[in-house]
Amino acid sequence: MTRLRAPYSSVLDLIGETPIVELTKFDTGKCRLFIKLESQNPGGSIKDRIALSMIADAERYGRLSPGGTIVEATAGNTGLGLAQVGIPKGYRIILVVPDKMSREKIQHLRALGAEVRLTRSDVGKGHAEYYQDMAEKLAAEIPGAFYVNQFANPANPLAHETTTGPEIWEQLGQDIDAVVVGVGSGGTLTGLGRFFRKNSPRTEMVLADPVGSVLAPLIKTGKTVEAGSWTVEGIGEDFVPPNADLSLVGKAYSIPDKQSMLAVRDLLSREGILAGSSSGTLLAAALRYCREQKTAKRVVTFVCDSGNKYLSKVFDDFWLAEQGLSEVEHHGDLRDLVARSHREGGTVFVGPDDTLLTAYGRMRRGDVSQLPVLEDGKLVGIVDESDILSVVDGPYDSRWDRFGAPVKTAMASDLHTLQATQTLEALLPVFERNEVAIVFDKDEFVGLITRIDLINHLRRSK
């Protein structure tokens, strides 16, 4: 069967009708596990469906006028969908986004032309800086603005009831035992739950929830627990969204962040599917469900969005280590604080004969403020932002010549070093001298430790 079709008249015509792939490289017990690639939507996520539905609904009922403003609180993907659909239609898009969202999502939103307002991700509903409350207040202040409110908008679950559910039903030959979903706004769960309750009552809805979210504990115990924190983006909540009909859930799993990250990285390395962090939560829960079954079942879950939005996070080994989400050996000394080990090839460095422009470029790309200067594998100096600035500052006419000066003209070469086996207390005198800690293992350079590395270590330590 050919997948080739005649040209579409608009990229919006590509929303929906996403493919399903069977996963064959994982242990699924007696079950067969399928995954629907919502990453194939033009905005890269399942949220394109609800964006199209909610904007069309608002237009139909006069809540959105031509040239109007769309305001929404979003973890990123709903915002991308709204921008994908709304900006070609001439709408202004204002999005309130929690500050834990990936850099790639925010860059994508701004590139589309959306206005992004970042707010805190460490506060709950009712706080003035909570992203949903901020979006609602903002919409009230802008004349004629449409506050989308995906968490309570009935056009959200309707999109899944009328498109996603029927697609899965047709693609899997009307034979589905379980559907594994997450809850962000609740639309996917409720829309699919309603569809399968009508068309296949035996199909079980399974919730995949990050540890720290209140939803899975509520389903398991009937009690509301205090919300914790989690790293996975887009799913998990500190309240029950109005759109989330939890009565549709037959089983719920709480998945730790570390397990989610491992699962989504395995999905790429085993099956060649690049997916986002929430997809790791869904996959981990789906695998647990499959392995628990005593009889053969057909189970489906989702790639909620593309992993290309998480390359600087989930697929960055150093970021995972900084978050305490990787499997690393702990030594109880300074080795535990070196985020970018030179032994493992993680150090961003320059040579003494490299130009200051090269050093500046590597600082920017590596998101660091100082670089070790290595010659023939040996540490010969440190260069930081202030060192570069002290050389390049001056008259404009000769500025580029100064950027072309070698690193050795600016670097500090009188170095104070620490041994890797020393404890955290050894760092404080270094930081009091306003220096970066240079760590050696005997004569071998290990890496640098900054104040941020120490703060991050203290944050992770229990």
Write out the catalytic residue numbers: 47, 278
C-alpha angle 315-168-307 in degrees, rounded to nearest 5: 10
Q: Give the integer Cα–Cα distance in Å for 299 and 100.
A: 31
Q: What is the rounded distance in angstroms from the CA atom of residue 49 to the CA atom of residue 290?
A: 28
Query: Phi then psi for 210, rounded to 5 degrees?
Result: -70, 145
List, in sequence order, the alpha helices (H) in 8-67: 47-60
Two tokens, residue 347 = 């150090």
As a whole number of angstroms, the distance between CA 441 and CA 453 comes to: 18
Bridge partner list, 252: 207
Residue type, 102: S
CA 444/CA 305 separation, integer angstroms: 43
> Residue 32 and residue 299: Cα distance in Å, rounded?
6
Q: Residue type at 370?
A: Q
d(CA 145, CA 13): 26
Among 144, 148, 165, which Cα is nearest to 80's?
A: 148
Evaluated on CA atoms 308, 170, 161, 224, the torsion sign reads negative
Report the alpha-carbon distance of residue 334 to residue 447 in Å, rounded: 10
Query: Helix, strand or coil for residue 229?
Result: coil
